[in-house]
Amino acid sequence: MNNGKAVVLVVEDNTLIRMGAVDLVLSAGYEALEARDADEAIRILESRDDVDLVFTDVQMPGTMDGIKLSHYIRDRWPPVKLIVASGATILEESSLPAGSRFFAKPYDDHTITDAIARLLASGIAGDSPT
């Protein structure tokens, strides 16, 4: 957390969708960081130790998609919570790291902010929120 606010990293290659997600995170009272792809997200995670949650798209350019990114984050930064969203891919949450949440686009803003709050309130990243 940064200054008492949870820090959420939004990873989305579509500028308009990324801006909307950042606005959603900010309006929910969290600090928002943004990345265009997994490579930029990893650089941010390597340079900061205060990221609490990553909210990522599945399909994006670069060396890895959002699914691979979520597994990479879980392996390298286990405490970081994960939300994965996609407009083209319907995933089973079982294909994601433990404790991750998946949402199909278009998602409901309240559903996302509720999921962020629940994940941040849960203890260990691998715990499923109740």
Q: Is the pLDDT of residue 130 over 80?
A: no
CATH class assigned to 7-121: alpha beta
Rounded (5°) CA angle 37-40-46: 140
What is the model's pLDDT at position 4? 75
In this prediction, residues 50-74 reach a mean pLDDT of 94
Q: Is the pLDDT of residue 89 over 80?
A: no
Confirm whether pTM is higher than 0.95. no
- Cβ–Cβ under 8 Å, residues 125 and 78: yes
Summarize pLDDT for 93-115 with one digit per residue, the tens.
668 898 899 998 888 999 999 99
What is the model's pLDDT at position 95? 83
Q: Is the pLDDT of residue 127 over 90?
A: no
State the average pLDDT for the chain: 89
- Cβ–Cβ under 8 Å, residues 5 and 29: yes
Residue 129 — pLDDT band, cuts 50, 70, 90? very low
What is the model's pLDDT at position 79? 95
For the chain, domain boundaries:
7-121
What is the model's pLDDT at position 50? 96
SS3 call for 13: coil
